[in-house]
Amino acid sequence: MALQSRWKQKLIVLALFLVLLAVPVAWFAWYNFFRQVPQPEWITGDPEMNFMYGSIGGEASAGLPYWLIVVLPRIFGEYVPGPGGYAAFGVPWEEGRELPVGFSKKTVGFERVGFNCAMCHAAQYRISEDDTPTIVAGGGSHTADIQGLLEFLSRCANDERFNADNILAEIDLAYRLSFTERMMYKYLLIPMVRKILQQQGESWEWTHDRPRWGPGRDAPMNLTKFILLGMPDDGTVDHTDFPSLWNLKTRVQEGRVWPEDDHSLTADFSKLDTPLDRLMLMNLAGDTTSYRSVIIDSALGLQPPQDVGLPSPDPVTPFFRQRVAEIEEWILNTPAPEYPLDYDEGLATLGSELFEQHCAGCHESGRDNRMGTVIPMDEIGTDPMRAESWTQEAADKANEVVVEELGMERTPMSKPYDGYVALQMDGLWLRGPYLHNGSVPTVRALLEPPECRPRTFYRGYDVLDAQFLGFVSLQCDAEGNPVHERPAHCADIPVAGGCVPDGKGWLHDTREAGNDNSGHLWGTTLADTEKEALVEYLKRRDKQGGA
Amino acid sequence: MAGRKSDPYRASPLLVKVALATLALVVAVIVVGGGYAVWRIYDDEPVVYESDIAHFKYGSTGGERGWKLQFGFGIPYWLWIALPEVAPELLPDGKAGQGFQAFGLLYEDGRNPVFDLPIGTSLRRVQGIDRVYLNCAFCHTGSVRDEPGGERQLVPGMPANTVDLGAFATFLGDAAKSRKFRDREVMAVIAQLRKDREAWLETQPDEVRDRDWPAPLGPVDRAIMRWVGVMTMRDQLLSFMGRLDFIDFSTAGPGRVDTFNSPKALLGFNMYSEQVDPDEMYGNVDFPSVWNQKARRGMNLHWDGNQCSTDERNLSAAFGTGATPATLDKPKLIRVANWLWDQAQPPAFPPQRIDPDLAARGEPIYRQYCWECHGNGHPPFREPGGGSRVGEVEPIDAIGTDRGRLDSYTPLLAVNQNTLYAGFPEAGEEYCRQYSEAICDPDVPEAEFEALRVEFLDECYPARFSHFRKTNGYANQPLDGIWLRAPYLHNGSVPDLAALLEPAERRPTVFYTGYDVYDFERVGFVTQPGQVPDGAGWRFDTTQPGNGNHGHEGAEYGTELPPADKQALIEYLKTF
């Protein structure tokens, strides 16, 4: 009897001891790995700052340790495409800020850095070479080499020098880590991140055989298919310019969109009143029925799943939902930026009549026209690869993954028919190069027949083309004239101005898969002066807020 | 008896005693050794100076020490004094027995260049070893003499006109690469120096003997140096100089440095990539003077005006003294900053060499031609609402001087500097914002600023860098102590004021820098080929990239004034 109660006592003491021990251990784990600290007020309190630097909730699952982000460019300088840290990848970086636009710093236990929408959707421009760049949140980035940036991270991880000794030695030059932080980095974070980045590198295999994205572009549908949905590589190419996000409100007319509360898992267009070719769809090829779905799926795309043997936190949290709502609110109401340069008033007035005659049917906002609808491929005639890369099968799978597996209700991704959406003409001056794949450097060049448009040009140089709408995209000869080779029958007039300095910009070759610049023949038969007038009108239009 | 064989707990008493004694000995060794190791690892003792000037000249900013895996920049004292003796053939004049004098480093009168430290170096005992590294005075203490062989005046706060930092850095790298930089050879030199120092000290008066001499290496230290120290130091020098390999140190000459190409190395920029703009590699500029910082508050600092905060500028410059965010000795740096704030003043131009009437004639000329950009000659340089542009950036197309320095500071460098001192308080946020804004706003009244400084210095300094900007010109500087700031223009391409008041085609194309004898007529150092003795100067060629001497010329800049007016103007500038 006495023996039994002695054992019981010992057991109780042991249990109590374990419970008492568990408390500090649990607290320690919570404090160093899970504790969420809201970002500072200057970010969360300002919608524009929140867009540029605010967390979208991905740090817990996909955030990289802050100090690793800080020192990687310092250790692996030779993997950075130039002397400039992350800025050398063309991600805009405001003077005085700790991190570039698109990098959100947040404490979840320890300080982490995640990526947000602004990484691809913040456009930087300069008026002259000597200017400090102006950064416009919500624009489509023209300079960001996202492929390069993500490859950089994997290349570092695959390098032998990516180990605790080297990394901690570099961090020690910059900051005094506490003992706990040091142990965490050394035994946990660095080895884990190495593995994660190596895996991510492997998940990029499919990009190696394809032409590069170049600055200002990515492969949105293939990223979704192969990484988020885990579908097999189907060989398609879908290079797409990052689009601008502003003025969203005018893109969605009542009665012509999919009802927001219809969260079907597959898009059955037949049950809507509006015929398919009058429906206002989202994404450049109409792959989504609502802007909210675009935001959700894009945001989820910034938090790729990983497999390191640890449970991955659910990305769809209340915070995520809140951020989706905030971003939606902001881009619905943010106006397009005003054109900063001058235009010719006389020509602009002539141009407005020409626009009404030749363009408004697809491009004027606020009317019952084709703006926002998918123009069929045989009509638009532009590079078909982007449209072809998305299929009904992929759309259905996306709905299954996002809605069923991740639990985020939204209207369905879809596949209406091959074609591209007619876009708004707002902030056009900052949206170069043009067409969905950014294959035409200036608006003026778009008004030339395809064989007369520049066959090669440079993207990623951020000085505005003051005359022809777009960015400066051609290199010049010894006399300072832009070099633009074209067939003899083409009009020998300039369609792109300025000079890209030696060594700047990335060569876009329209002969590469996905880069073709044919199609969109509207306006190409106008007289030269009429084309000029159209361009001046579009500049004036952007002085008045665009759409 | 019965228990002896079968009971293991009752072994032989002798065995037990021996075992216990051994255990005790092992424990004792661990405790004592461990205690010693702990003491050594945490040992950190800089030399403390009573006067602020002495602290400026010799005080430590923390650069000697390392943090965790960092060894630190500090060179062990015995190694420091051995370097010129180990490889004298690598010195500019090939002569041993002079310490580092051949690089223009300044040893005060009565100091022995072989055993003493020059101005601009500091001594700090770290982990039980006395170590030496550079401090602010290395680049900001100069020398001037009335005549050849005359008495030197060493001036703290003056640009280090004699110091050839480039040659010195090259020497460190070359010495490390030399075959002679090996444990046995170096230890032998150190042993000889120890004996020599003993012998020399015996001949010295008490006040010299009683100075804080680093002790000779004890047996433990000798072993550490012999087996680990020398080669670790070699490694350290090689990797440090390796990071700076892309910089051609031979192009600067005495009194100059390429300020912003080294920070690119600090940030790990790949300076061999194709994306490096060739135009960004020619950033050599004169060391600036550092007096009167209080009167410069809120001005655009650095030659191109890329920085408005004196705090941030000091911390940025402190990297050059080895002080990183992890190793910075904050109180010591603040002591230097406080001295520079309102104590450090330039010495006056010898009054007996100024013609007061002529100078008076020069005043209205200055007012008409120079004041608008350069402000008053003495603090306050700027008056609120006063109308001068002193401290503001003059666009490059207007000033027309050499672009090399401007282009060396790239927009990408400017934004990446925002990651320096990351992890420290945010200057722009809530608590610290008021102070951060006040330090960059020259219109905040003095008293208000001083109060803010007292309140916020503890918590908001250092703060993460956030004030660097890319500009497109050069900042208009106050001209305090201008006589000692020759040669002129940001790149030191114009030897004296007389030449500056000539258009570029009449300025000397080639002249010699580093000679500290002064020319009181032309207002600048003696630089002409015939007048600088052989070997005493460095050949400055204005046709080399970055060395252009054009600009700051034309009617508005006084180069078209009649000679008498120019004389008067120069005379007036002598009074600054």
Name the H helices within B47-87.
Answer: 52-58, 77-86
Of the candidates B67, B269, B413, the beta carbon closest to that of A176 is on B67
Q: What mean pLDDT do residues A15-37 have?
A: 91
pLDDT band with cut points at 50, 70 and 90 for residue B508: very high
pLDDT tens, residue by residue, A67-124: 999 999 999 999 999 999 999 999 999 999 999 999 999 999 999 999 999 999 999 9
* Residues of A in Cβ contact (< 8 Å) with B276: 82-83
A425 Cβ neighbours under 8 A, 6+ residues apart: A359, A363, A364, A365, A538, A541, A546, A547
B192 Cβ neighbours under 8 A, 6+ residues apart: B85
Name the H helices within B376-496.
Answer: 396-399, 404-408, 411-416, 430-439, 446-460
Report the alpha-carbon distance of residue A107 to residue B184 in Å, rounded: 52
Residue type, A247: N
Give the ipTM: 0.92
Q: Does the pTM exceed 0.90?
A: yes
Token reading at A424: 């708004």
Tokens 């927009």 identify what position? B411
Q: What mean pLDDT do residues B459-474 have?
A: 94
Report the alpha-carbon distance of residue A401 to residue A408 in Å, rounded: 9
pLDDT tens, residue by residue, B536-560: 999 999 999 999 999 999 999 999 9
C-alpha dihedral sign at A441, A447, A448, A451 = positive
Chosen from B236, B247, B273 to mutate, greatest number of chain A CBs within 10 A: B273
Of the candidates A41, A132, A173, the beta carbon closest to that of B326 is on A173
B358 Cβ neighbours under 8 A, 6+ residues apart: B567, B568, B571, B572
pLDDT tens, residue by residue, A426-472: 999 999 999 999 999 999 999 999 999 999 999 999 999 999 999 99
* Residues of A in Cβ contact (< 8 Å) with B66: 172
Chosen from A80, A98, A168 to mutate, greatest number of chain B CBs within 10 A: A98
Please check whether residue B56 is in contact with residue B136, taking contact to mean a CB–CB distance below 8 angstroms.
Answer: yes
A502 in B contact zone (CB under 8 Å): no
B319 Cβ neighbours under 8 A, 6+ residues apart: B263, B266, B420
Tokens 């993207």 identify what position? A459
Question: A132 and B68 in contact by Cβ < 8 A?
Answer: no
Q: What mean pLDDT do residues B13-36 have?
A: 91
Mean pLDDT over each residue of chain A, to the nearest integer: 92
Mean pLDDT over each residue of chain B, to the nearest integer: 93
Predicted pLDDT of residue A3: 62
Token reading at B319: 């990297």
**Above pLDDT 90, what percent of chain B?**
77
B532 in A contact zone (CB under 8 Å): no
Specify which residues A64 forms β-bridges with.
Answer: A113
Residue A37, classed as helix, strand or coil, is strand
Please check whether residue B476 is in contact with residue B370, taking contact to mean a CB–CB distance below 8 angstroms.
Answer: no
Between the ranges A407-411, B38-42, B231-235, B514-518, where is the mean pLDDT highest? Answer: B514-518
Other beta carbons within 10 Å of A394: 21
Tokens 């002896």 identify what position? B4
Q: What mean pLDDT do residues B330-336 have?
A: 95
Question: A97 and B325 in contact by Cβ < 8 A?
Answer: no
Nearest chain B residue to A505 by CA distance is B275
**Above pLDDT 70, what percent of chain B?**
98
Predicted pLDDT of residue A308: 57
Predicted pLDDT of residue B31: 93
- Count CA within 13 A, CB hemisphere, residue A29: 5
Judge whether residue B109 has pLDDT over 80. Answer: yes
Top pLDDT among B393 and A270 is at: B393
Strands B518-519 and B510-513: unpaired
Please check whether residue A43 is in contact with residue A94, taking contact to mean a CB–CB distance below 8 angstroms.
Answer: no
Judge whether residue B69 has pLDDT over 70. Answer: no
Name the H helices within B151-246.
Answer: 165-177, 183-202, 206-209, 219-224, 230-243
Residue A244, classed as helix, strand or coil, is coil
Question: A132 and B470 in contact by Cβ < 8 A?
Answer: yes
pLDDT tens, residue by residue, B237-284: 898 888 899 999 999 999 999 999 999 998 999 999 988 999 999 999
* Residues of A in Cβ contact (< 8 Å) with B469: 95-96, 132
Predicted pLDDT of residue A305: 62
Q: What mean pLDDT do residues B554-571 have?
A: 97
B468 in A contact zone (CB under 8 Å): yes
Predicted pLDDT of residue A120: 96
B267 in A contact zone (CB under 8 Å): yes
Judge whether residue B318 has pLDDT over 50. Answer: yes
Among the listed ranges A122-136, A349-363, B64-78, B323-337, which one has the minimum average pLDDT value?
B64-78
Nearest chain A residue to B395 by CA distance is A130
A129 in B contact zone (CB under 8 Å): no
Of the candidates B68, B271, B420, the beta carbon closest to that of A172 is on B68
* Residues of B in Cβ contact (< 8 Å) with A179: none
pLDDT band with cut points at 50, 70 and 90 for residue A251: confident
Predicted pLDDT of residue B101: 95
pLDDT band with cut points at 50, 70 and 90 for residue A547: very low
